[in-house]
Each structure stands twice: as structure tokens, then as C-alpha cells.
Amino acid sequence: MNDRVLVTGGAGYLGSHTVLTLLESGKEVVVLDNFSNSSHHSIDGIERICGKRPIVVQADARDSLALSHVFQKYDIEAVFHFAGLKSVEESVRTPEVYYEENIGTTLNIAEQMRIAGVRALVFSSSATVYDPSETPPYGEASKTGPNNPYGQTKLLIEQTLTDLANINDQWSIGLLRYFNPVGAHPSGHIGEAPSGKPNNLMPLLMQVGIGKADKLFIFGDNYDTPDGTCIRDFIHVMDLARGHIAALRFLQKTNGIHTWNLGTGIGTSVRELIQFVERVTGTEIPKEVVGRRKGDSSVAVADPSKAFNELDWRPEHTIENMCIDHWNWQKLHPDGY
């Protein structure tokens, strides 16, 4: 068996950290990315850190010819599928774009993998697939029922891949449900570089910290939580990346469909995160409490014990590390790459 992994969306935030971790583990990597939400400089950053560069193919993951060419040219052992659209808000405005892109990319990848005889796939799913009315922490068996089109695309893809694995036992597929990935590689050479105004809490806090935004709006402080703000399970992007390597190791030994939460199991409230960021940046974050954001659940925390036990994987970074590394990246790259 060869040692080459195809990473779709490998130039993006989570993909780039995972590509780095794959290269560091001795794998060869082919990145397929259309660079719709990323920069070639993330690839330079990877090389700067580890001295190795992945092969880069600039193409859309819905392009069957491009993908078939990649499988013919390179001997691929497994696919990590990150490519896709990820904004909950945008998905509410343009659901058809989300269904077309997220499902279209996955169907094409599955089809081209089948033709090429490649059967190991790790898919980037999300904690947003869980029904927000379920009582946290969420285990993999908790009820699903996303309340937005983005989450629906993830759930539909999970169902499609489950059917695929159930009908042909040669497939080994990992569905990784990420909670809230934050942070950056400690070198600060790669990190999260959202194009346009970010929607997520951590990149927004960083922008306020560096003076690119005036203040943070806290979306509601009347939730049923100790300080009234929502609670999330933040996970360091490097721990998330290692989770992928652990999943691949498992899938190389065990066929079938497997679902794992990638989270820490530790909840941090919006207010607590602001305090951590204030401590790390040494600045006070101007903030204002406004109304709730539609669709937010009060607490989203993982029960990660299945991943801990089956993958022999544990997150190593504290919430403070996450803030330190994200801030380091932000300071070195105030305008992104």
C-alpha cells in the first residue's frame, strides 16, 4: 500500500493544519482545492513549518475529469474531504448553493473513488447535525436534526456515505463531527484567514483585539447557563488535525462506517472565552450584549469518549493555548495570508 492521501480543501483552515500533520507523519499529500476560500500562501506556510510541500491541484471537487485525473496520476490510499461551504448564515440565505456544492462535491468524490478502487474516506462533518433540543453532552447516538441548511447538507452526506458503506463492505468511512475548532499552528505560519467579515466568535474576537473591528456583539446573555451566554466546546485545530491521523489509522484496520465526535468535552461560555482572550491579548475587548442569534443552541458540548477509546486520541491543548496560538497567528497576519 502507498502512503499518499488526497486532501480536498487542503488549503483551507482545517485542511492546511491536517495536511501539515499528515506530512509530518511521513505521508505524501495531494491537495485538491479551488481556492474559493483560501490562499496559496497557506501551502507556503506548511512548507515553511515542515520543509515539505504537498502536490497542489487547483480544481473544483465537483469536476469529475479533474478528480479522475488525480486518481489516475497519483496512487491514492485515502481521501480526506474538507472542501465545501461552511457558513450557517449564508446557507439560510442561499440553501440551493449549499446543497449543490456540499452534496455535489461528495457525490463526485465517492464516485471517482469507487472507479479508482480507493475505499478509505474521512469526511468533515459537524456538531451542527445534532438536534439542538437534545440534552448535552452530545454522544454520537444523540438525536440528529439540524436547524439550518448547512447542517442538513452534512446530515444528508452522512446518510449517503452510510448507505455506501452498508452496501459494500470494502469501504471504510469516518464521519468526523467537529465541535468548535479554533487556534492555529504555534509557529503562526498557518491559521484561519476568513475572506470577508468572519461570522465565528474567535476570529471576531481576534479582529476586535487587533483593532480591525470596534467591538464584539454578544448574541444573548439570557440563556439558561451560569453566566447567561452560550457554551461551546472549543478544540485546538492541531488536536483536530491529529484526530484525522488517528481516524485514518483506525480505518486502515477496520472497514465500515464510523462516526466520531472531535471535541474536548469541556464547555466554555462566550463570556469566559472573552476573558481568556482579554488575558492573552492584554487588552479589554469592547463588547455589547444584543439579542439572540437565530438558530443558536444554548449549550453544544461533545461527549468525545468514543473517539478517545477507539482512536486512542486525546486533545492536548487548553483553552488558553487555543487563544495564545490564535492571537499569535492574528498578530503575524493581521490581514490574513
Binding site for ligand UFG (CB under 6 A): 86, 88, 126-128, 179-180, 199-201, 204, 216-219, 230, 232, 270, 293, 296, 300
**DSSP percent split of the chain into helix, strand, coil, nearest 5:** 40, 20, 40
- Residue choice 7, 20, 86, 327 for contact with ligand NAD (CB under 6 A): 86
Among 5, 27, 38, 151, binds ligand NAD (CB under 6 A): 38
What is the nearest approach in angstroms of ligand NAD to the Cβ of residue 284?
26
DSSP characters for 165-207? HHH-TT-EEEEEEE-EEE---TTSSS----SSS--SHHHHHHH
Nearer to ligand UFG, 85 or 118 (CB): 85
Near ligand NAD by CB under 6 A: residue from 5, 6, 7, 12:
12
- The item of ligand NAD, ligand UFG, none sharing an interface with residue 270, based on CB under 5 to 8 Å by kind, is ligand UFG
Q: 35, 99, 217, 308: which one contacts ligand NAD (CB under 6 A)? A: 35
Q: How far is the CB of 88 from ligand UFG (least distance, A)?
A: 6
**In the block, residue with C-alpha cell 446573555:** 221
Using CA atoms, how far apart are residues 106 and 101, in angstroms rounded to an integer?
Answer: 8
| Segment contacting ligand NAD by CB under 6 A, of 21-29, 32-40, 65-73, 272-280 | 32-40
Let me know if 150 is a catalytic residue: yes
Contacts 24+ apart (CB under 8 A), 111-117: 111/64, 112/64, 112/67, 112/68, 112/71, 113/71, 113/79, 115/68, 115/71, 116/68, 116/71, 116/72, 116/76
Q: What angle do CA 223, 224, 230 make, to 5 degrees?
A: 50
Minimal distance, residue 126 CB to ligand UFG, in Å: 3
Decide whether 40 or 331 has the Cβ nearer to ligand NAD: 40
H helices, E strands: number in the chain: 12, 14
Which of 150, 178, 223, 337 is the catalytic position? 150
- Residue 260's contacts (CB-CB under 8 Å, 6 or more residues apart) are 140, 174, 175, 176, 177, 243, 247, 304, 306, 307, 310, 311
Binding mask 47-66 for ligand NAD (x = CB under 6 A): -------------xxx----
Binding of ligand NAD by 84 (CB under 6 A): yes
Contact with ligand NAD (CB under 6 A) among 33, 140, 158, 303: 33
Q: Are 117 and 168 in contact (CB under 8 A)?
A: no
Choose between 35 and 255: whose C-beta lies nearer to ligand NAD.
35
When asked if residue 13 is in the footprint of ligand NAD (CB under 6 A), the reply is: yes
- Residues contacting 275, CB < 8 A, separation 6+: none
Nearer residue to ligand NAD within complex by CB, 58 or 254: 58
Q: Which of 178, 234, 260, 313 binds ligand NAD (CB under 6 A)?
A: 178
